[in-house]
Every structure is written in C-alpha cells, then in structure tokens.
Structure 1
C-alpha cells in the first residue's frame, strides 16, 4: 500500500532523512518512533507531499505520491492541527465531505462528533477552539472520507484520556477494515499495544524495523523489556 525507496531529504548540506526505504501493507499499523530531530515528521511530510524530497521514490497504492490518484487514498493528521478560523466544527466536516465527494456524510459526521465529544461544540468557530479540540476536529476530518491509508503525526498530543482511548479503538477498527496506518509518536505506550510493527529512526536513519518481539530478539533485549526500554537503548548516544 505504501512503498518508500531511497528517500533523501536535505536541509542545506545536512541530511534530515538519509536514504531510507520501507513499505507498509494493507491492514497494518506501524509505529514510527524516534527522538526529537530523528526525521519522523520530515519523512511523513515527504510522503504526503508537504515537503519536496531530494531523492527517492514514493508510491501509494501503486501511484506516485504526488498524483491525484494517490492523494485520494490517504488522510494526514499533522502534529500541529490546522483549522479554518471562520468555519464551525460542523462546517469543517461539510467542507471535507464536499471536497472528497462523500455521500450521506451527515450521519457519519454526527457519529464522529459524538465519539470525540464535539456534538455540543459543532457551531463553535475554529478560532475559538482549544488545541485539543482542534486535534479532535482534525482527526474527524481525516476519518470522514474513509481513506485507505492514514498518517498520524503525534495524534495523542493535546487529547484528553478519553479521546486517547477512543483513538486507540479507532486504530483497531481501521486495522480490522484493512486500512493502513503509520503513526509517529513520542508516547511509546500509546502504540505498544496496537502496532503490528515498530520502525525506529535516529539521525535520519531507520535503525529498527520489525515486530516488537523480533526487535527484542535481534537486539538482545530481555523478554520482559518494554518497548520504552528497547527504544531508549537503541537511541542512546554512543
């Protein structure tokens, strides 16, 4: 569903992403972990077309990532949620529904707003929403078109505990529907229980890419080691 080959992104002479390759299959939830500056957000922004890559190829569902066909397949939830100041919560969903040609969108929009406790705030303008509320609107807008691939960049930041729990359930439901999810996060425990595979980045390189059990085995971690223990060991400064 997603194929990344030889991706390079430079800022000046510095490689933010250093010739990485990986793929994601349908129905797979992959956690993308790494310390600050590892290249996680840069990688995701290159995939969705917000940053221009310096080298490499990216295909979504067999289509070049910059084509309209590819863009119809995915939704992207950025780390900093962006909303329109003068659109209400409901109007955001209506705008996305019209942009993507979602039929009978009202019922699905109501269900999403109910899930994220936005129903009583659906007439509030974007400029009046807190960061957490903006994040909820961003997630609802991403889910409304029923995309095949979802890219979440730090989706849990700013969410309250109930919304975090609901988002984890959304991940599991999407996986059961055969959707593909790439989620970048610093909250390691938020992906440990839902990710089929873990990719760990450091200094623009992928230093681990496997199931948690295999990563533990390959790097000699103890059986009762947590993903956090493994992550800290792999990303520590030499």
Structure 2
C-alpha cells in the first residue's frame, strides 16, 4: 500500500510538488496523469526513496519513507521512463543480478518465463547497448517483476513499445494488481491506461487537482462525455495558489542523477 500526506518537493527555488496527499491499497492501480512539469516523476522518485521529500510523510508497503528506507526499497520496484541499464551486462546478466540481490528462489526459471512473456527470449545473451528503446523498457520491467515487489512504480512505461508490447505490459500490470500489488503508472496516454486503472491522481504544476476513481472524476465534472474530457476539466480548473517561502528549505539541492532500474 501507499500512504502520502502533505508531500512537498523543492528543487532550488522551484516548488515541484505542493501538499500532495493520497492513499492506495493493495490491488489498486493508480494512473498518475498530468501535463509536462506537473510533478509526476518527482512524486514517484520521492516514493522510491531516490530523492528526499522537502516536507510531508510517506509510507510504502508499510514502511516509513524516512525511518525504514532500506526495507522500503526491498519491497518496491521503480522503473523510470528511460531505464539506466548496465552497458557491460547482457539481458540474462541483468536478471541474474536482480535475482541474486533480492535472493529470489529459482530465479533462473522465473526470469526465463518473464523473458518469454515480453518476447525477449532470443535476446538472453545480447548486451544492453544492442537493445532498442522498447526492448530496454521491457528488460527493466522484467527486472522489476522478478522479485515480486509489493509496490510497483512505472514512470511512462509504454515509451518506445509497439502496440503488442503495450498490450502485454498493461495485461501484466493488471495481473500484478490481482495478486495484491499496489501499482502507480504515469502516462500522457490517458486512453491507453483507462481500462486498467482503479484510481487516478491528476496533477498540474505540482498541485493535486483530483484523486479518486474514474466514476468520481466523471461525477465531479458533470457534463463531460468521457474520462479524457473530465481530465481536461480537472487540469483547467482554476485554484488559488498560495505563495510559499522557498528560501530556507534544507533539501533544495538539485535532484541527483540516479543509476537505478529498480530501487
């Protein structure tokens, strides 16, 4: 599960995430949507423990985002939109590394099944640098799935995938949720994720514009004819944005580059 209360993230003098709160239970799939610069990736990286929150509290899979960071990472997988794979490792070696790090029983058989599911079996011995963008994305997802994390954070996971690859990915996300995982998936392609999400978190310029089910989103904006129309109504809604002091934040250093496929 995921619990977030009053999350704020500041980079230098830029307020990227402002007072975001939400809660997700096991088995739920949340679509994290919003225009460019909305703060979606910052929310995910804070949840994954890759960057520190400037304020607020978080709990992931029952572990506190500040006190239990190592245990949190053992139960969470984060796949960024451009996975930084290891150039000197093959596809099979990536999965072996994850299997050994997370002490996955019989990980070889499980890895082969994942490669077959994502049509990467013939790339077992191929180096990461030889893979297309879509194949790199699939490999990162396989690494994330290998140790069965309780929480999955997928940041624009359909980037570079062809239509069959997108279909297989979305089916796998639904399957993970059915086994009890909590999933957050960010995307600019709302119609693509509409069929699998139980909840939506809509952001704009760091602010939470809506959190709830698709039905609740439609109910809030009566007269909209589709979920997409309701989404646009949410991000176009005017709210009063309060001025905040960004001058004394202890965590205002620029976001570091992170060499991680899964946390």
TM-score band w.r.t. shorter chain: over 0.9
What are the residue-to-residue correspondences of 1:135-174 with 2, within 5 Å?
Answer: 135-174=137-176
1:81–1:131: 8 Å Cα contact kept in structure 2?
Answer: no
2:90–2:127: 8 Å Cα contact kept in structure 1?
Answer: yes
Alignment pair present for 1:233 and 2:228: no
Alignment pair present for 1:9 and 2:9: yes
The number of equivalent residue pairs is 236
Over 3 Å counting, the alpha-carbon distance change for 1:237 and 1:3 in structure 2 is: closer
- The structure 2 residue matched to 1:83, chosen from 82, 85, 97, is 85
What are the residue-to-residue correspondences of 1:175-186 with 2, within 5 Å?
Answer: 175-186=177-188
2:49–2:73: 8 Å Cα contact kept in structure 1?
Answer: no
Distance 2:223 2:44 in 1: 28
Distance 1:25 1:46 in 2: 18
What are the residue-to-residue correspondences of 1:1-238 with 2, within 5 Å?
Answer: 1-66=1-66, 67-222=69-224, 225-236=225-236
Over 3 Å counting, the alpha-carbon distance change for 1:113 and 1:49 in structure 2 is: same
Q: Unaligned 5+ residue runs, structure 1?
A: none
Could you tell me the TM-score, scaled by structure 1's length?
Answer: 0.95
Secondary structure of the structure 2 residue equivalent to 1:208: strand
Secondary structure of the structure 2 residue equivalent to 1:156: coil
Could you tell me the TM-score, scaled by structure 2's length?
Answer: 0.87
Dislocated runs of 4+, deviation >4 Å: none
2:217–2:227: 8 Å Cα contact kept in structure 1?
Answer: no
Distance 1:142 1:57 in 2: 25
